[in-house]
Amino acid sequence: MVVELLLILVISVITLLAVIKKRSRFVDSLVSNLSAAPPSQDLALDTLLDVAGRFYAEKNYLSAEKAYLKVLRVDHKNSLAYSRLGFIYSHLGNNEDAIECFQIVADTYPNAASYHNLAMMYFKTRDYKKSATALEKSLDMEMHVNRLVNLARIYRIMNKFDLQLEALKKAHHLDPSNIDIMQLLAEAFIHEKDDKSARVMFTRILKVDPKNNRARLALQTKSQLKNI
């Protein structure tokens, strides 16, 4: 029985390797065709991007990486390829290359999303200063609740509590009924020893969520509010 299972496993691995090798040869042939037939280069490039996209959707990151690298040989400014490579390298734990790819996208095609992706990679590598700077640039281009919350958390890690409070107030203004944001804002008020504002925020939380234990316990405390 064990021998049969081992045999099945070996056959499965060989089959998988054969499929990957076949797909890799297909990608190589596409790139060869690009060089051989310049008039149809755009069409062939679209086909190569489609193949790379399918590999990426299947989470076949090694094949997707190879395909997107070949895209860049043909179109060295292709922002989609750089962006996808950034996510691929992040998944594979190659943080330096991921940051480089996202930085290229941000420098070449600066927009809110590109700076947000760069910020999250810097956060992943615990470079909080650069992460905050990239998120600030992203928010300058487009206000977004989740990005404001992420920025507030980074400010807290950096002990910049005044900036944390400012970011949370902006997030609350954009989404005033979001309990998670109200909770973070109340905790920030407590940290800044602004009990009055914290109580106001906990009261608002209870109006939205009457069963919220954290808010209920905080408002029952007559002395100075503390983290519970």
Domains 44-142 and 161-228 fall in the same CATH topology: yes
Looking at the chain, list the stretches that DSSP marks H as alpha helix, in order from N- to C-terminal side.
2-36, 41-57, 61-74, 79-91, 95-108, 112-124, 128-141, 145-157, 161-174, 179-191, 195-208, 213-220
pLDDT value of residue 2? 44
Contact 209, 179 (CB under 8 A): yes
CB 190 within 8 A of CB 227: yes
Return the pLDDT at 44: 74
- 206 near 179, Cβ under 8 Å? no
CATH of domain 44-142: 1.25.40.10
- Give the pLDDT of residue 170: 97
Kindly list the domain boundaries of the chain, sorted by start residue. 44-142, 161-228
pTM of the model: 0.76
Q: Write down the pLDDT at residue 221.
A: 66
Architecture category of domain 161-228 in CATH:
Alpha Horseshoe (1.25)
- Residue 218 has a pLDDT of 85
- Give the chain's residues under pLDDT 50: 2-11, 13-22, 26-27, 30-31, 33-39, 228
